[in-house]
Structure formats: C-alpha cells, structure tokens
Amino acid sequence: MSETDQQSSCAGHASRRGAVEIRGLTKSFGAVSVLKGVDLRIAPGEFVTILGPSGCGKSTLMRIVAGLERQDGGEILIDGGSVDEMRPSARDIAMVFQSYALYPHLTVRENIAVPLRMRELSAVQRLPGARLLSASARRAVREADRAVRDVAALLKIEPLLDRKPGQLSGGQKQRVALGRAMVRKPRVFLMDEPLSNLDAELRVHMRAEIAQLHRSLGVTFIYVTHDQAEAMTMSDRVVVMMNGMPLQIAPPEEIYDDPADLAVARFVGSPRINVLDGRVQGGGIAAAGVVLPLATGLADGTSVQVAIRPNRATLDPAVAAPRVSGRLVHRENLGSDLFLYVATEGSAEPLIVRQDPGIAGRLAVGEAAEVGLPVEHVYVFDAEGRRIALLASDARRRAHG
C-alpha cells in the first residue's frame, strides 16, 4: 500500500467518531457485586486504559461495553446514542481478546477477512462457489481482499497472508488479531489483556506498536490490563479500578505523581511506594520516630498514613529533610539503578530508596542508614486511604519545593 493509500485508510478511521459514555453501570453475579455504579466519559480518538488487579471488574466492564454481557443497571452511549439494546455486531465496536481467537483452519488472509465476509455476504453467498453466481458478491469479495491487503501492509504482515495460525509466533498472531479488528473500521477498539500471553521482551515491543497504531488510526481505544507498564506507557488517561469502582481517572503522570487514594499509590509504581503509619501531633505528623512538618488541620492524635516514592526518599546527607534512622537489610543493584532496603523501627516493611551508586554505593548490608523524607514529596492519607489535602501554607511550600 502506498503512503497516500495508508494516509487515506487512516483518515477513514479518524473521520469516524467514537465518544463513549458509561453512566452508573452496575453488575452482579449472584450475591457478588462486580460493578458498583461506574461512570466514565471517553472522548473520540482517546486511548483510555482500565487498570486494576484481577477481580476488580475491568473485564466485565469491557464485555458489557462490547455487548457480550448485559448490565443490571446504568447506560452505555456511543456518540450520544444508547447501545444497550443493540447486538454486539451492531455497536460498531471491534474487540481484541487475550486468546487472539483465530480460526486455526483459515489462513491469515481469511482470518482477517472474516468480519467483512460476515457483514457483506449472505449465508448463501458465503458457501463455496456461490460467490461466482452474484456480481454483488464478487464485488464484495474484491473489496474485502483490498481491505485485507491494506491492513496487512499497515501491520507489516503481508508475507504471512497465506500462512495458518499454527505457523505464526505469538507476536504475529497478535498482529493478525489486530488486523481482523481494524479491517472493520470500527468506531471503538476494545482490547482485553491482549499482550498477557507474550514474553516480556515481545510485550515491550508490542506496547510501542499498539501506541503507534493508535496514533495512526486516531480511533478510540479502550484497553484493559493489570500491567501498570502497559497503562502508563500507552494511555492518554488511566482508570484505576478497585472492587468494582474507579478510584482515580487521570493521565498517567497524574496517577503516579498525585494519587488520590493510597490503593492507587500502592498499585502504581515499581518498586512499591513506602508507607508509614503516623499520627497528627502539634501541627505536624509523627511517623517512624520523626515529626514531619505537614499541617493537615486534623486533631492531635488522628491516625494517618504517610507515603513517599523510592525515587523521592534519599540517603544523600546534602538534602535537607527529616531523617528516619534504620539499618540496611538488602541491596538490589540493577546497573542503572541501586535500590536500598532500610529497616526502621515501627515499620513492618523496610523503606526502599532508589539512590545514585555514587552516594550509597559503599554502604554495606547491616550498616546504619539515615533515610531522608523530603516533605515536599510526602503524601498523606487518612485511615481509610483517602488523600488528605494539606493546609494552604504547606501546599505553597510543596509547590515551590
């Protein structure tokens, strides 16, 4: 396919809208409530990832949008119109599954063409030889063949068109599954854990390919995963789901840097965020033997939790910060990164510090260590895990820290 043809194909996708609105969606299986009033608006052409652990309801939400499950309550609209009563095939949505769902007896060419044949040809016309009897059927077949070639060129799988799925690698199968979805030129792409069956190196490669594909097509993508790396690297916005409800909906940078809930802070970020139990004391927060000058306006004695990312904690004595005393219990040298685990009194888990090897490279396991907690990078949460807003004076100091 020429560059002009590819641009024309992409423009055909981009000209379609694909605004998705989910209003108050609920779903239960027996006594188990899986979705508890989900609200979400997705703009045309946006890449939104639904991120969460197994059992949080993300795949159920995806299947309801696709029409494969029926919700108990709420409404789904695409481009302003309700699709609740529409069959899956009528919603103008294409779904890519974790299992690829390719037909093993068909070639790649035939697998990609399946949606077009099902849409354009009658049951009789799909019978072997019957297409030769109808001019309209022959025309539909020619158009389908051209669409398959265009998609194959875009995905760079033309040499695979005459192979069968059993002759393909995992990455090649994933491209074929994407091609079968793309050939329909849907308003919305749904992807449910599409990379989970691939090895780590290929997942990284396919993440880049899917992100590039989205930019090329300009079509709405809704992507489901439990893998934070996929969510953070590909998405315009991330929906972090826990227990059937979105806890935060925001761009990836905001999810990481400004978590609205402790569960979000714990789930996103590797290695894990450091969390210490604290208590409001005299206008600050006492935690792990130090008092952090963070004013919450809460009464003295109120239990809170303070958290800081490993890349924000420090062992550098030149950084002015309250310091927690401890002892180094483990080192992880990953070449470009050095992670130090420091056990402290009053904390069940050691604090993790990502440190420049030049600063802490000679610190040995068993030696004393002082972990600095720069207060401008400390998050405060209440006992239920909700983010606590600091008083204005602290907010200004943090903003200019």
* pLDDT tens digits along 197-229: 888 888 888 899 899 889 988 999 999 999 999
Q: What is the reported pLDDT for 399?
A: 45
Q: What is the reported pLDDT for 362?
A: 78
Express each pLDDT in 227-269 by its tens digit: 999 999 999 999 999 999 999 999 999 999 999 999 999 999 9
Query: In the numeric block, which tokens belong to residue 199?
Result: 């090895």
Interval 388-395 mean pLDDT: 70
Q: Where are the beta strands (DSSP E) in 193-288?
A: 220-225, 237-242, 245-250, 274-281, 284-287
How far, in Å, CA of 9 to CA of 146, rounded? 11
How far, in Å, CA of 299 to CA of 279, rounded? 10
269 phi-psi bin (left φ>0, alpha ψ -120 to 50, beta other): left
Single pTM value for the model: 0.84
Per-residue confidence band for 3, with pLDDT thresholds at 50, 70 and 90: very low
Express each pLDDT in 119-131 by its tens digit: 766 655 656 655 5
CB 164 within 8 A of CB 199: no
* Sheet (strand 284-287) strand order: 290-292, 284-287, 274-281, 303-308, 379-382
Interval 298-326 mean pLDDT: 94
Percent of residues, the chain, with pLDDT higher than 70 = 89
Q: What is the reported pLDDT for 138?
A: 72
Express each pLDDT in 270-294 by its tens digit: 999 999 999 999 889 999 999 999 9
- Please give the mean pLDDT across all residues of the chain: 88
**Which 3 state secondary structure label does DSSP give 186?**
coil
Question: In sequence order, which residues have a C-beta less than 8 Å from that of residue 174 and are 6 or more positions away?
Answer: 100, 194, 195, 198, 206
Nearest to 54 by CA among 98, 88, 100, 24: 98
Per-residue confidence band for 12, with pLDDT thresholds at 50, 70 and 90: very low
Q: What is the reported pLDDT for 65?
A: 96
Q: What is the reported pLDDT for 165?
A: 93
